[in-house]
Every structure is written in C-alpha cells, then in structure tokens.
Amino acid sequence: MKHKFGCLVGALLYLLVACRSTSILQGGRHERAFHERYVNKPLYTAMLIQPYQSHDEYLIDLTGNVAATDTEVLRAPVVVPLGSPIVLVGLDDRHALARIPGHPRLFRIRVHTQRGTLDDLARELALVVAPEPPLQLVRPELRPVVERQEVTRGMLRREVVMSWGLPDKITSVPGAAGTIEEWIYFHKRVHLFLDNGMVTNWQQF
C-alpha cells in the first residue's frame, strides 16, 4: 500500500513539474514554436531602442509599467537605431531575451502575454523585431524624418515609435472625435499629443 501511494505521489509530482512552465508562454508546444520561429534567426529592430538601465542588463518595457511604478528608473546611455540587427536568444518568466551586436549586455524585453500564447507574444514582439528592414514600411514622405530620428505632425503611432522609441508614459482621454493620447518622454522632456493615433502637437517641459 505504501509503495502504491509513493508511486502515486511521485507520478503527480512529475505531472506538476512537466505541466509547469517557467516561461511567459504556457506549455511546451508554444515554447517550441517560439524557438523555431525566433531564436537565433536574423532579425532587425523595428523601432529605435533606448532601453532602461537594469543592473547589468538593459530593459525594453512593452508593458508601460516600469516608469509608472518607478519614477527614478533611468534610460541607459545606449541608442540602438531602427533597422539594427537583433537576435532573440530565449525566454524567462517575464521577458523575451535578446542580443544586439556591438552591445555585450543582454536586452530583456518585458511583455504582457496575458494568455501565454505564441500569437500574443508575436503581436508584442512585432513592435521590437522585424524579419525585414522596417524603414520600407514607413510612408515615403516620412522616411527622411524617421531616419533623422525626428517627429512631425501627421505621424502615426508606429512611425513615432520607429523614430523615438517607446514613451515612458501614455495617458488617454476621450476627445470630440475619438481618443486623445499624451505620450511622455522623460529623457527628452517632451509631451507628445496624438489625436486618433496621429501626432497633432508637442510641448517641452
């Protein structure tokens, strides 16, 4: 009887360990698919990256929570231009992990992936990585602006991120004809205003 009970407990523990995922993806199938699609594949940065300093590593925050919870967090003195080579090397419990040639430190990309599926993760990573040089996705009249890392009226959200990277904070309020967003870049000391996803104005602070 004791032997049977011990075998049952052992089997249950094995199942618990086997089913438990230490990754942001739920289950081995999604993790295997992530490795097949992304890991050690040639990719390009899909936006300008100016990461936060996180101990001996760099942090790219797609959740918007880092600056919201820690107003003292600082941007690292590193700028990775749009279209630079980037290689994803794995996952941990909250991040996709990346290496960028010329930068010895690891880049951690913090993601939401609330459902833990590969499709969720792929949608978020599309902000950061692209399979082809991303400048070709910018409207031709705005390519010189993005190349100069500038922002101008009429730019779309994606074009702003390509040119300036992710903001530290976003607030939104209902407007007369849609949503008005305020994007705050602490290190640039700029409030950027978007009406229905298009830049309308900005203000220094």
Question: What is the pTM (predicted TM-score) of this model?
Answer: 0.84
Q: Last residue of a domain, which of 119, 136, 153?
A: 136
- The pLDDT value recorded for residue 69 is 74
The CATH number covering residue 148 comes to 3.30.1450.10
Spatial neighbors of 7 by CB under 8 A, at least 6 apart, are: none
Shared-domain flag, residues 32 and 120:
yes
Count of the separate structural domains present in the chain: 2
Q: Cβ atoms within 10 A of the Cβ of 37, count?
A: 14
pLDDT given for residue 13 in this prediction = 33
Q: What integer pLDDT is reported at residue 45 of this predicted model?
A: 98
Residues spanned by the domain of 117: 22-136
CA 55/CA 74 separation, integer angstroms? 11
Q: Are residues 114 and 186 in the same domain?
A: no
pLDDT per residue over 42-68, tens digit each? 999 999 999 999 888 999 999 988 877
Among candidate residues 98, 72, 73, 76, the one with its CA nearest the CA of residue 85: 98
Residue 18: which pLDDT band, with cuts at 50, 70 and 90? very low
Q: What are the DSSP E strand ranges found in the chain?
A: 43-45, 52-54, 57-61, 85-91, 95-100, 103-110, 129-130, 169-175, 178-185, 190-195, 198-204
Among candidate residues 150, 165, 159, 128, the one with its CA nearest the CA of residue 202: 150
- pLDDT mean over 60-82: 86
Asked if residue 106 and residue 28 are part of one domain, the reply reads yes
**100 and 30 belong to one structural domain:** yes
